Amino acid sequence: MGMGRVHTVIEATSAELESWLRDILVKKFEVPAAALVPGARLKEDLGLESLDFVDLVVEFECRAGRRIETEDLPGLKTFEDVVALLVKMNAKQGAAPASGLASGAVHPGPVPADGPRKAS
């Protein structure tokens, strides 16, 4: 998957979504790549704290161009859980707008309460 190519969740395969997540966790959260195994627990094994988790959720929402359902959040305990949620959001993406973020892009800040801002 090329860095210059615009690639949104609606186009992504499961493997691409997992790769994107790995890149975010390694680059933004400084998680060792070797620690990213399916059963790795977000807090205990990967060292993500509460604010890290919030930032990670924002990354997902920006990537997907939609909000994560509140009921999905408590189920996010492991790396595998997060990949599964991305795949689930990808499957539901058809009705939602694509974010337009480049693959591997890191969102600069939180999503406003009324959703991602549109470029003028």
What does the angle CA 17 – CA 48 – CA 117 come to, to the nearest 5 degrees? Answer: 55
pLDDT in tens, 21-58: 999 999 999 999 999 999 999 999 999 998 998 898 88
Measuring CA to CA, which residue among 94, 92, 93, 20 is closest to residue 59?
A: 20
Give the CATH superfamily of 9-95: ACP-like (1.10.1200.10)
pTM of the model: 0.66
Question: 20-29, 65-74, 90-99 — which is least confidently predicted?
Answer: 90-99
DSSP state of 83: H
Q: Which of 93, 43, 46 is nearest to 68 (CA)?
A: 93
Read off the pLDDT of residues 97-109 as tens digits, 9 standing for 90 and up: 344 333 444 444 4
pLDDT at 91: 78
Higher pLDDT among residues 64 and 96, named by residue: 64
CA-CA-CA-CA torsion sign (99, 32, 69, 84) = positive
Report the 10 Å Cβ neighbour count for 11: 14
Band of residue 11 on the pLDDT scale cut at 50, 70, 90: low
Q: Using CB atoms within 10 A of its CB, is residue 31 exposed (0-12), middle (13-18) or buried (19+)?
A: buried
Residue with tokens 């094994």: 45
Round to whole Å and give the CA distance between 26 and 28.
Answer: 6
